[in-house]
């Protein structure tokens, strides 16, 4: 049995590429089996993912999601996990880094699962959502998005360890600590940015919206 599996969805539009340092961190710390949706595979790419996850105790999912689906490809509108096959995740320890995975976890009544709220990590996201938690994000620039994304990456790289992955309460506290450190760093060095307050508020809600089931 593969103890740890990491499903990393590399979208063809590049919207998940900023997460690669997290994948490298997971690779170095846990030596997991890493799989993705490989359209060039001679075998069924979905089945490869399902088989890898089914034999794991811990499953990382790094990619796009909604309140009811985790995607193999948003480009192809192809769901990976949804109501008809959610039983495949039963009994796994789950770390789901995707938009609205908190709602996904609650909707499907998953346990031993760690999820996140809305993560506006692209210009399309901020144009679509416009306001989040009362924070005006519609006017964010690509540089603002990069700062936000880098804060997520740096926070998770520091927080995810061999002990915290088995103690989600500890993981949540570490994410809170390192996210606050990112906020403090930004407030000190980047106050000249017109969106600095909205950015720091958004980083705050990144950690606040986390939930554990």
Q: What is the pLDDT of residues 112-159, one digit of tens each?
A: 999 999 999 999 999 998 888 999 999 999 999 999 999 999 999 999
Indicate if 46 and 150 belong to the same structural domain: no
| Consecutive H or E run containing 155 | helix 142-159
CA distance 117 to 26: 21
Indicate if 112 and 128 belong to the same structural domain: no
Indicate if 18 and 109 belong to the same structural domain: yes
Specify the pTM.
0.94
CA distance 163 to 158: 12
Indicate if 6 and 93 belong to the same structural domain: yes
Indicate if 27 and 65 belong to the same structural domain: yes
Tally of helices (H runs) and strands (E runs) in the chain:
7, 10
- CA distance readout (Å), 114 to 45, 60, 130, 194, 207: 25, 10, 26, 33, 12
Indicate if 106 and 7 belong to the same structural domain: yes
Asked if residue 102 lies in contact with residue 65, where contact means CB atoms within 8 angstroms, the answer is: no
Indicate if 36 and 61 belong to the same structural domain: yes
Q: 11: domain range? A: 1-117
CA distance 177 to 181: 6
CA distance 132 to 138: 9
Indicate if 203 and 160 belong to the same structural domain: yes
The 10s digit of each residue's pLDDT in 39-78 is 777 789 999 999 999 999 999 999 999 999 999 999 899 9
């Amino acid at each position: 049995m593969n103890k740890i599996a990491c499903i990393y969805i590399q979208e063809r539009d590049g919207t998940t590429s900023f997460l690669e340092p997290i994948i490298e961190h997971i690779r170095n710390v846990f030596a997991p089996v890493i799989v993705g949706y490989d359209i060039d595979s001679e075998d069924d790419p979905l089945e490869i993912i399902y088989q890898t996850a089914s034999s794991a105790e811990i499953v990382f999912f790094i990619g796009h999601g909604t309140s009811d689906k985790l995607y193999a490809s948003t480009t192809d509108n192809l769901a990976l996990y949804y109501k008809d096959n959610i039983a495949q995740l039963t009994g796994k320890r789950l770390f789901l880094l995707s938009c609205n995975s908190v709602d996904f976890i609650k909707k499907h009544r998953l346990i031993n699962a760690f999820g996140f709220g809305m993560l506006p990590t692209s210009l399309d996201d901020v144009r679509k959502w416009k306001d989040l938690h009362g924070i005006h994000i519609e006017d964010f620039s690509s540089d603002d998005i990069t700062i936000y994304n880098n804060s997520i990456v740096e926070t998770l790289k520091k927080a995810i360890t061999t002990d915290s992955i088995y103690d989600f309460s500890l993981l949540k506290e570490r994410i809170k600590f390192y996210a606050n450190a990112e906020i403090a760093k930004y407030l000190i060095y980047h106050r000249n940015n017109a969106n600095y307050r909205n950015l720091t508020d958004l980083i705050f809600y990144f950690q606040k919206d986390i939930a554990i089931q």
